[in-house]
Amino acid sequence: MWIGVPKSSNTYYTSQKWRGIALTTCALILIATLILFKAKPTSPSDPEALKGTAFFPSSIQFHPSFEFMNGTEVIWQIPNSPKAALFIAPGCTIRASNFWDKSTFCPNCDGLPEERAFVLQALEREFAVLTISSLEECWSFGKELENVEWIIKWWVRENKLEGLPMTALGASSGGYFVSALAFKMRFGSITIMIAEGVFVNIAIGNDYPPTLFVHMPKDRIRMSNILRNMEDFKAKGVDVKEVRCMDFPLIPNVLSDRIPGVNRSFAVKIVEVFHEKGFVDEKGYMKMDGRASPWKEALKEKNLLSESDEWIKHVEEELNLAYGYHEFCSLKSEDIFEWFDSHMK
């Protein structure tokens, strides 16, 4: 900073002058930096689109129980006075262990931001939460339906949850699975996320549970399938509703508030690279899905990422969510629990 500034006493006056110039320059650079920081990635250009992305502050601690049953992993947690039970079926490649943070209770758990946020909110609302992994990468619809029905009944018995309303939520492949399971088992109501369900091949009866579709309208084909299915539900007199999960601008807080382990200053750096590389448009919206953007290469180039980093999948999930095409969307938890609450039987 002071390089080039005269130091000898006979140039004291000059030194003072230089000092003044240098200080002013420093201050200007600082102000300019602050303005740039504020003006670029950190300012939400569309507050409405960012609604709900601030992390839900939760007082809940994860202390799940784990069991290996019928060839798969089963992880659950039961609040002190549960008012309902909730079975969650994850999407392809997502495991039960992705719904819970790593802890002494579950050393192999690795909570992904959307899944863990959803479970925290379920527990906060006194839902007993049961997560089960599919046998393969995605769910199948033969023996696996029987397995899961068996596991759910075992879990209800073991934990004395008989008499509580039973609800279910499935995302993507898990959404198809839950929609099929609801033909076999009684649920008070269900939520099918980013999936249209298996209703093309199976006709529903009027005893099918009330169904909430949570979907991302950017996936237009899926949306039109869902809207068509909803017509069918209405014709059969089955309660049905849709909730739309929209894209939003990627701001650092989306990463640092929602991913434990990514701090704010690091999130600012990541989002800066996204602007520099043009992964986001001038309003901060992702131009492509997180899975399709070469963001990992870009961060590696800047020495901001190494293969051993534990938050890679977590960041990618938030990028997918911001793009708003196909991802678990915990942003609509409010609507989902309202749906479950209004159909408690």
Ligand X SMILES: *[C@@H]1O[C@H](CO)[C@@H](O)[C@H](O)[C@H]1NC(C)=O
* Residue (22 or 312) nearer to ligand X, CB: 312
* Residue (80 or 265) nearer to ligand X, CB: 265
**Cβ 260 to ligand X, closest distance in Å?**
12
**Cβ 305 to ligand X, closest distance in Å?**
10
Distance (Å, whole) CA 276 – CA 240: 44
Site for ligand X in 264-303 (CB under 6 A): 265-266
* Residue (222 or 314) nearer to ligand X, CB: 314
Distance (Å, whole) CA 175 – CA 178: 5
**CA-based torsion, 274, 244, 326, 72: positive or negative:** positive
**CA-based torsion, 342, 339, 116, 280: positive or negative:** negative
Q: Which stretch binds ligand X (CB under 6 A): 2-10, 142-150, 172-180, 337-345?
A: 142-150
- If one asks whether residue 150 binds ligand X (CB under 6 A), the answer comes out as yes
**Cβ 153 to ligand X, closest distance in Å?**
10
**Which of 126, 146, 162, 276 contacts ligand X by CB under 6 A?**
146
Q: Which stretch binds ligand X (CB under 6 A): 37-45, 146-154, 235-243, 330-338?
A: 146-154
* Residue (123 or 255) nearer to ligand X, CB: 255
**Cβ 141 to ligand X, closest distance in Å?**
14
* Residue (195 or 254) nearer to ligand X, CB: 254
- If one asks whether residue 25 binds ligand X (CB under 6 A), the answer comes out as no
The pair of three-digit structure tokens given for residue 326, joined into one six-digit string = 């196909």
**Cβ 195 to ligand X, closest distance in Å?**
24
* Residue (201 or 308) nearer to ligand X, CB: 308
- If one asks whether residue 80 binds ligand X (CB under 6 A), the answer comes out as no
Specify the 3-state DSSP secondary structure of 92. Answer: coil
**Which of 97, 147, 189, 333 contacts ligand X by CB under 6 A?**
147
**Cβ 302 to ligand X, closest distance in Å?**
12
Distance (Å, whole) CA 340 – CA 188: 8
Distance (Å, whole) CA 212 – CA 243: 7
DSSP state of 130: E
Strand spans (E) along the chain: 65-69, 72-77, 84-89, 127-132, 166-171, 189-193, 211-215, 240-244
Radius of gyration of the chain from Cα atoms?
A: 25
**Which of 14, 24, 33, 263 contacts ligand X by CB under 6 A?**
263
DSSP state of 111: -
Instruction: Give the ranges where 74-211 is alpha helix by DSSP (H).
Output: 113-124, 143-158, 173-184
CA dist 318 to 256, 258, 313, Å?
10, 8, 9
* Residue (124 or 309) nearer to ligand X, CB: 309
Distance (Å, whole) CA 167 – CA 3: 68
Site for ligand X in 48-77 (CB under 6 A): 69-70
DSSP state of 281: -
How many residues sit close enough to ligand X to count as binding (CB under 6 A)? 8
Beta-carbon contacts of residue 124 (< 8 Å; ≥ 6 apart): 56, 58, 59, 60
* Residue (118 or 311) nearer to ligand X, CB: 311
The contact set with ligand X (CB under 6 A) reads 69-70, 146-147, 150, 263, 265-266
